[in-house]
Amino acid sequence: MNSSDVVISVPELALGVLLVIALAAVCRPLSRQTASGLVTSMGRMCLQLTLLGLVLKAVFDNVSLVWVALVSLVMLLAAGREVVIRQRYRGPWASDWRTGLTAMTSGCFLLTLLALLVVIEHEPWYHPRYAIPLLGMMLGNTMTGIALTISRILEGAHQQAPRIQARLALGDTWQDAVRGVRIDGIRQGLLPVINMMAASGLVSLPGMMTGQLLAGADPMDAVSYQILIILMIATGAGTGSLIAAHLTVRQLFDDRERLRLDYYRDVDSDGSR
Amino acid sequence: MNDPPMTLLDIRSLDHPVIHAANLQVDAGERICLAAPSGAGKSVFLQCLADLLEHTGEVFFDGQPRTQFSGHAWRQQVCYVASESAWWSGRVIDHFPAQVTLPLSALQLDNELLERSPSGLSSGQRQRLSLLRALARHPRVLMLDEPTANLDERNTDAVETLLQEWTGEGNALIFTSHNVQQQMRLATRRWSIRDGRVEAQE
């Protein structure tokens, strides 16, 4: 791959920045908040990506398993935080984090390892040029699936508490009582992946493939990489959602199979007080 | 039959922040009315007996401590029916165990109701069906919260007759009711709540 075909200079980047500032200026009379949101989030994006570039450059220059592991850990924790703060209903923080991290680790790490060791087979297998972007794409998608699954289950359990209680009162097991809520959560978590697979290549050009094409890669090479990535993302998001659903519904009940919504607090109603 | 009646439920102690009880027994064939003003903790007490709310204490069913039962196994024997019924499936029939014969006509209900959606029924129909739904699972102790709140006189009579027959088969009933006549007609014994404590009345 000849990545030096397209090099973007600072004035070219500045042109892009000006375009967003112009957009913000147009939006300002309509909504000041939106305009300032555009500018500040653009600033954050530029800063974060620049920092990431510096970190990646350092890691690429010193290929070492320790550095790759460290960057992976930071990425995992950031994704875990994203899953937790997206929830309207929060349980005890330790169990929230445990659910998010367990689901993501099993959904992402094992599959990324599998792809690196069995499919890509680069030497060394942990080379950051492959390991970090792969893990990043896996985490990004799996994180969304897991966050959707957990929030759907917790919101469903709160909305449908009388139904769950009625089934428990009749002597149903907790698994039966919560079945509908659980299925709904898994369906919700997998929907983005199903849509993504169905729309790939027709409606959207996937991000990784676009990047490779822009950088001058052969289209068929880019496609085969992309298919592999999408298959892994689908498996990772699916596994992550299933595990997140299992752990989340288990936490809704205590050891006497009672529904324990009192373990959770509603962040939305906290904010409005 | 001169044998002493079998004790189905033996409440040696039960403690919840709003309600307490000690040394209460429920024998087979009894129909106990739990009588107390609104807000005294009747529903909380019944839900504690069904182990749906966290509490401490020692309760025995048929001589076995509750700790020997899993949560759902306990509730299959000691079943609570709330005053407002909740339904989780699209058709009424899906809420009943398969291949069960339901005494629908005893409660003046038509067979065709089973195919309908619960949301399309009247509150009185739902209330009677939720009682049948509990009875279809064969509990030994049934706890009913205001079982006839939405029913007219004729249907109230039908429910009371069914409950009398059912307790006559060796089961036990604990119920709440704001209707004093109903308490007199249906109850064989009364419990009351004073200062957060459930007491048997002689």
Q: Is beta strand B172-176 parallel, antiparallel or unpaired with respect to B189-194?
A: unpaired
Q: Give the pLDDT band of residue A3 (cuts 50, 70, 90).
A: very low
Closest by alpha carbon to B159, among B141, B172, B146, B178?
A: B146
Chain B contact for A182 (CB, 8 A cutoff) = no
User: CA-to-CA distance for B61 and B8, rounded, in angstroms?
Assistant: 5
Which of residues A200 and B167 earns the better pLDDT score? B167
Say if CB A238 and CB A145 are below 8 A apart: yes
Q: Which helix (H) or strand (E) holds B25?
A: strand B19-27
* Whether residue A188 is found in the same domain as residue A68: yes
**What CATH code is carried by the domain that includes residue B139?**
3.40.50.300
Q: What is the mean pLDDT of residues A172-186?
A: 97
pLDDT above 90 as % of chain A: 60
* Whether residue A147 is found in the same domain as residue A30: no
Chain A contact for B189 (CB, 8 A cutoff) = no
Can you give the residue range of the structural domain that contains A158?
Answer: 64-272
* Whether residue A54 is found in the same domain as residue A167: no
Cβ-count burial of B68 within 10 angstroms (0-12 exposed, 13-18 middle, 19+ buried)? exposed
Say if CB B34 and CB B172 are below 8 A apart: no
Chain B contact for A172 (CB, 8 A cutoff) = yes
* Whether residue A34 is found in the same domain as residue A86: no
- pTM for this one? 0.86
Question: Of the ranges A65-79, A170-184, A206-220, B153-167, which one carries the lowest mean pLDDT score?
Answer: A206-220
pLDDT value at position A109? Answer: 84
Can you give the residue range of the structural domain that contains B137?
Answer: 7-201
* Whether residue A181 is found in the same domain as residue A261: yes
* Amino acid at the residue A77: L
The interface predicted TM-score (ipTM) is 0.94
* Whether residue A77 is found in the same domain as residue A166: yes
User: CA-to-CA distance for B159 and B108, rounded, in angstroms?
Assistant: 10
User: CA-to-CA distance for A246 and A108, rounded, in angstroms?
Assistant: 17
pLDDT tens digit string along A222-233? 888 888 888 888
User: CA-to-CA distance for A179 and B128, rounded, in angstroms?
Assistant: 26
pLDDT tens digit string along B95-151? 999 888 899 999 999 999 999 999 999 999 999 999 999 999 999 999 999 999 989
Which DSSP string do the residues of A202-216 spell out, in sequence order? TTB--HHHHHHHHTT
Q: State how many domains chain B has.
A: 1
Q: Give the pLDDT band of residue B2 (cuts 50, 70, 90).
A: low
User: CA-to-CA distance for A171 and A166, rounded, in angstroms?
Assistant: 9
Cβ-count burial of B107 within 10 angstroms (0-12 exposed, 13-18 middle, 19+ buried)? buried
State residue A200 phi and psi, 5-degree precision. Answer: -55, 130
* Whether residue A78 is found in the same domain as residue A97: yes
Shortest CA gap A139–chain B (Å): 35
Q: Which residues of A touch B139 (CB under 8 A)?
A: 171
Closest by alpha carbon to A65, among A128, A120, A19, A3?
A: A128
Q: What sign does the dihedral A186-A189-A193-A198 (CA atoms) show?
A: positive
Chain A contact for B85 (CB, 8 A cutoff) = yes
Interface contact A162-B80, CB threshold 8 A: no
Among partner residues B73, B77, B85, which is closest to A166 by beta-carbon distance? B85
Task: Confirm whether B181 is domain-assigned.
Answer: yes
Q: State how many domains chain A has.
A: 2
* Whether residue A37 is found in the same domain as residue A108: no
Look at residues A20, A41, A61 and tell me which one is the last residue of a structural domain.
A61
* Whether residue A157 is found in the same domain as residue A40: no
Chain A contact for B88 (CB, 8 A cutoff) = yes
Among partner residues B51, B82, B137, which is closest to A166 by beta-carbon distance? B82
Mutate which of B68, B88, B135, B137 to disrupt the A interface (most A C-beta within 10 Å)? B88
Shortest CA gap A163–chain B (Å): 5
Q: Give the pLDDT band of residue B15 (cuts 50, 70, 90).
A: very high
* Whether residue A151 is found in the same domain as residue A43: no
Mutate which of A158, A170, A258, A261 to disrupt the B interface (most B C-beta within 10 Å)? A170
Q: What is the mean pLDDT of residues A153-177?
A: 97
User: CA-to-CA distance for A261 and A127, rounded, in angstroms?
Assistant: 45
Order of all β-strands in the sheet with B141-145: B64-65, B56-61, B7-16, B19-27, B197-201, B189-194, B31-35, B172-176, B141-145, B78-81
Q: Which residues of A touch B77 (CB under 8 A)?
A: 171
Tokens for A248, please give them.
Answer: 């989340």
pLDDT value at position A5? Answer: 57
* Whether residue A153 is found in the same domain as residue A238: yes
Say if CB A180 and CB B88 are below 8 A apart: yes
pLDDT value at position A114? Answer: 87
Interface contact A162-B84, CB threshold 8 A: yes
Mutate which of A256, A260, A262, A263 to disrupt the B interface (most B C-beta within 10 Å)? A256
Interface contact B88-A254, CB threshold 8 A: no
Task: Confirm whether B26 is domain-assigned.
Answer: yes
Instruction: Give B1-10 contacts, CB < 8 A, sequence gap 24+.
Output: B5/B29, B5/B30, B6/B62, B6/B170, B7/B63, B8/B61, B8/B62, B8/B140, B8/B141, B8/B171, B8/B172, B9/B49, B9/B59, B9/B60, B9/B61, B9/B78, B9/B141, B9/B172, B10/B59, B10/B60, B10/B61, B10/B63
User: CA-to-CA distance for B188 and B184, rounded, in angstroms?
Assistant: 8
Question: Which chain A residue's Cα is nearest to B134?
Answer: A170
Interface contact A256-B51, CB threshold 8 A: yes
Q: Which residue has the tokens 């009364």?
A: B190
Task: Confirm whether B2 is domain-assigned.
Answer: no
* Whether residue A112 is found in the same domain as residue A25: no
- What separation in angstroms does the CA of B39 have from each of A87, B44, B45, B143? 34, 9, 11, 18
pLDDT exceeds cutoff 70 at A4: no
Chain B contact for A174 (CB, 8 A cutoff) = yes
